[in-house]
């Protein structure tokens, strides 16, 4: 037991740390994705708001 138990416990502790690190990385990724989606939605709102001003010069050229 005294020869098997310490390496077994060390391996289990390392595996638990690896799993915890993976879960933390997944949470960070989820948070980053939420921030990116909010930023994309805000940019889309801004573009939709400015769209008439941006398209006006092109519309004038096409109507001539």
Q: What percentage of the chain exceeds 90 in pLDDT?
A: 66
pTM to 2 decimal places:
0.62
Number of H helices, E strands in the chain: 1, 0
Res 59: pLDDT = 65
For the CA atoms of the chain, what is the radius of gyration? 27
Cβ-count burial 34-62 (b if 16+ within 10 Å, e if not): eeeeeeeeeeeeeeeeeeeeeeeeeeeee
64, pLDDT greater than 70: no
CA–CA dist 37, 25 (Å, integer): 18
26, pLDDT greater than 90: yes
- In tens, the pLDDT along 31-60 reads 999 999 999 999 999 988 888 887 777 666
């Amino acid at each position: 037991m005294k020869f098997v138990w310490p390496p077994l416990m060390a391996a289990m502790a390392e595996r638990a740390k690896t799993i915890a690190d993976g879960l933390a990385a997944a949470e960070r990724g989820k948070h980053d994705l939420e921030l990116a989606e909010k930023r994309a939605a805000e940019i889309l709102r801004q573009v939709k708001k400015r769209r008439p001003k941006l398209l006006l010069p092109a519309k004038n050229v096409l109507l001539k």
